[in-house]
Amino acid sequence: MTERIMIFDTTLRDGEQSPGAAMGVAEKLEIAKMLEQLGVDIIEAGFPISSPGDFQAVQTIAKEIRNCVICALTRARTEDIDVAAAALAKAQRPRIHTGLGVSDIHLKYKLHMSREEALEAGVRAVKYAKRFVEDVQYYVEDAGRADPEYLFQVLEAVIDAGATVVNIPDTTGYTTPEEWGGLIRAIRERVPNIDKAVISVHCHNDLGMATANTLAGIRNGARQVEVTVNGIGERAGNASLEEVVMAIHTRRDLFDFTTSINTKLIYPISRLVSDLTGFVIPPNKAIVGSNAFAHSSGIHQDGMLKHRSTYEIINPEDIGVPVSEIVLSARSGRHALRHRLQELGYTLSEQEFERVYQRFLEVADKKPVVDDRDLEAIVSGETWPFMFETYELARLQVICGTNVMPTATVCLQSVDGKEICHTATGVGPIDATYKAIDAIVGEKVELVEFTVQAITEGIDAMGKVTTRIKAELPVNGGDEKVTRYFMGRGADLDIVTASAKAYLFALNRMLAAKQQTRNARKEAAEQIKQTLDQMQATHGSAHVNDYWGIGVMREEELK
Ligand code: KIV
Ligand code: ZN
């Protein structure tokens, strides 16, 4: 019988560790919902002890998503496991993912532990996690550079302690496919109790080999793969979900396996993740890049016209690339727009649809044909900002050109309906606009990224702007601050308006996060306390911990 490869998606955990990704709870939930529709088996929703926001995201996803295993990452420490267990309390199928480094480099420089100490700590962590959940996954960090003999010992010990899945990460993306496949094979041959656990592979892309290594892992016995949408993740990223899944589907002759993925949702989820993280997909990105199915040279076009199979190994429709039959214009009504948006994979609430429709009419008024790329830009610009809207752009006027001082007058409407206007000058129209917005909003932020893309060809192209701001947010109600990044985006036929919207979007998210951080902290502490109380009632043992400055008291240190 054809075996199934389990798809473990870590877009919301390792993917979120990409510098500047910084998604909030609402965005993470939106991605989790689409991952569920896509059919992934496991969603790694976050690293709950890392911040109250991460805790809240895992907790929300655990409550809302019922058809996937929901996994939370921890270090091999009791306090991390407590917090993960509390965040997963409402999950239908919870999994705790704990672990420790195994390479001598990690043991010596990061952990300051001997091999024996690390092995014992790993075993203790698995046993402790088993008190909360049945399904415990253990990661052996930096396995790609570890002594295999020690690695085998650790795996045997943690499986004996109850690990149901063993995750073998090539943390630094150091290995080659032959080496990696050989290591997975050796694990199967040399770890005596390996049949009691699933082998998972987690490959990073530092040398561009994450997908190839993951596939080598499968061919040598891995039955779970850890991937992210668009391959986002620490440094050069992780193995990309779309590449691994489509390699299995396309090369059935080499990979006699199935996955539960509905490939038709690959393209829509790729766009969603790009929109919500602000990470633009390179045009030549395998599977989902805008050029992945474009044929520009004469010879290729000639071949394609004779038969698609000459230059195309994947049918774009199989991954959900929209093939447009309806032309949308100023005469198109709500019905046609709704239909096209559904075909593109968008599920919008009534409120979101109405905003998209109003923007569509404005764009269609100025452009004879509104194509799919315009629609994607409109949806990405309109479906998110209102969730965080403290300020809305009411009006904007700029004066610029040669021999004039660029000047912008911006009017923002605040949540209480008041309109506040300010005029500022700058080195250019966008600088002047941002200065005027800063004067109204009155928050100290640093603009760290500003990108403009023309979405369609021609002089009437829609412009899409992505901004990223850096802010210091207060924590613990005192002077302590954390640095956080907020992404914003805006689309418009007018590039200055798109820029103003993108900046305001980021600022609104920052203002919402400031409020949320305060509440998240209190709510998370309460949830952790409840979980620990239950734990104490069952096991009669507990210890004292301090979570993000909020003491959740437990009585004794666990042995
Ligand atoms: O790359 C890595 O080693 C990881 C582990 C935490 C699983 O992401
Ligand atoms: Zn990783």
DSSP characters for 410-430? EEEEETTS-EEEEEEE-SSHH
* pLDDT tens readout for residues 221-263: 999 999 999 999 999 999 999 999 999 999 999 999 999 999 9
Q: Which atom of ligand 1 is nearest to the CA of 142?
A: 3
Q: What element of type H or E holds 459?
A: none
How much distance in Å is there from the Cα of 14 to the middle of ligand 2?
A: 6
Going by pLDDT thresholds of 50, 70 and 90, the confidence category of residue 522 is: confident
- Are the C-beta atoms of residues 344 and 426 closer than 8 Å to each other? no
Q: Are 409 and 374 in contact (CB under 8 A)?
A: no
CA dihedral 363, 367, 373, 374 (to 10 degrees): -10
Question: Is the torsion defined by CA of 65, 25, 49, 226 positive or negative?
Answer: positive
Residue 51 backbone phi and psi in degrees, to 5: -170, 155
| Among protein residues, the one whose CA lies closest to atom 5 of ligand 1 | 141
* pLDDT score recorded for residue 325: 60
Calculate how far, in angstroms, residue 75's C-alpha sits from the geometric centre of ligand 1.
10
Q: Which of 17, 50, 73, 224 to mutate to test the pocket of ligand 1 (most atoms within 8 A of CB)?
A: 73
Choice from 137, 167, 180 to test ligand 1 binding pocket (greatest atom count within 8 A of CB): 167
Residues 272 and 330: their CA atoms lie apart, in Å, by: 26
Angle ∠(101,106,111) on CA atoms, nearest 5: 80
Q: Which residues line ligand 1 (CB under 6 A)?
A: 14, 139, 141, 167, 169, 171, 202, 204
For ligand 1, what atom is nearest to the CA of residue 14? 8
Instruction: Kindly tell me the burial class for residue 253, based on how many C-beta atoms sit within 10 Å of its own C-beta (0-12, 13-18, 19 or more).
Output: exposed
Q: How far is the CA of 131 from the centre of ligand 1 (A)?
A: 23
Q: Which fold has domain 3-277?
A: TIM Barrel (3.20.20)
Alpha-carbon gap, residue 505 to 490, rounded angstroms: 8
Listed by start position, the domains of the chain span 3-277, 293-317, 318-382, 391-516
Which CATH number among 3.90.420.10, 3.10.310.40, 1.10.4080.10, 3.30.160.270 corresponds to the domain 391-516? 3.30.160.270
> Which amino acid residue places its CA nearest to atom 8 of ligand 1?
14
Cα 421 versus chain centre, distance: 36
Q: Please indicate whether residue 499 or residue 550 has the higher confidence score (pLDDT).
A: 499
Q: In what order do the strands lie in the sheet with 481-492?
A: 446-454, 463-474, 481-492
Q: Average pLDDT in the 111-124 region?
A: 97
Q: Which ligand lies nearest to the CA atom of residue 144 in the structure?
A: 1
Has residue 465 got a pLDDT over 50?
yes
How far is 349 from 379, CA to CA, in rounded Å? 12
How many angstroms separate the CA atoms of 329 and 332, rounded? 5
Q: Fill in the amino acid letter for 10.
A: T
Name the burial class of residue 351, with classes exposed (0-12), middle (13-18) and buried (19+) by CB atoms within 10 angstroms of its CB: exposed
- Nearest ligand for residue 169 CA: 1
Report the nearest-CA residue for atom 4 of ligand 1. 171
Distance 167 CA to ligand 2 centre (A): 10
Question: What is the pTM (predicted TM-score) of this model?
Answer: 0.87
Read off the pLDDT band of 555 (50, 70, 90).
very low
pLDDT in tens, 134-165: 999 999 999 999 999 999 999 999 999 999 99
Sequence-distant (6+) residues with CB within 8 A of 107 are: 101, 113, 114, 115, 118
pLDDT in tens, 408-441: 999 999 988 999 999 999 999 999 999 999 999 9
| The domains spanning 3-277 and 391-516 adopt the same CATH topology | no
Which residue's alpha carbon is at the smallest distance from atom 2 of ligand 1?
A: 171
- 95 CA → ligand 2 middle, Å: 17
Rounded CA-CA distance 356/348 in Å is 9
**Distance (Å) from CA 543 to ligand 2 centroid:** 30
What residue's CA is closest to ligand 1, atom 7?
A: 139
